């Protein structure tokens, strides 16, 4: 599995974590609470979230690196939609 991670500074990390997980729970077997969440998109891709007072940490795990950029973009787009009131700095690192 290939991992990439983004630590997004925001005071609303828990809110965004919960919104993202609730959104995806209609399609996937999502597990979450206010501090952590897990979205298994498929057998080969999943994202985990961790929220604290200062940031939302997202860790993406994919089996095939060809999925990585597309999945990062999907996650980014959804997060930006929920966080439309603030400008987020989302930078993924391997």
| Residues 68/76, Cβ–Cβ less than 8 Å | no
pLDDT (tens digit per residue) in 1-26: 899 999 999 999 999 999 999 999 99
Prediction pTM value: 0.95
**pLDDT, tens digit, for every residue of 24-73?**
999 999 999 999 999 999 999 999 999 999 999 999 999 999 999 999 99
Residue 85 DSSP label: T
Q: 79 pLDDT band (50/70/90 cuts)?
A: very high
* Cβ burial, residue 27 (10 Å; 0-12/13-18/19+): exposed
Per-residue pLDDT at 61: 98
């Amino acid at each position: 599995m290939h991992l990439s991670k983004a630590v997004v500074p925001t005071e609303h990390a828990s809110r965004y974590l919960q919104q993202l997980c609730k959104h995806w729970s209609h399609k996937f077997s999502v597990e979450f609470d206010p501090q952590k969440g897990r979205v298994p998109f498929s057998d080969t891709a999943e994202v985990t979230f961790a929220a604290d007072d200062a940031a939302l940490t997202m860790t993406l795990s994919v089996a095939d690196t060809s999925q990585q950029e597309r999945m990062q973009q999907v996650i980014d787009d959804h997060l930006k939609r929920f966080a439309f009131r603030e400008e987020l700095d989302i930078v993924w690192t391997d």
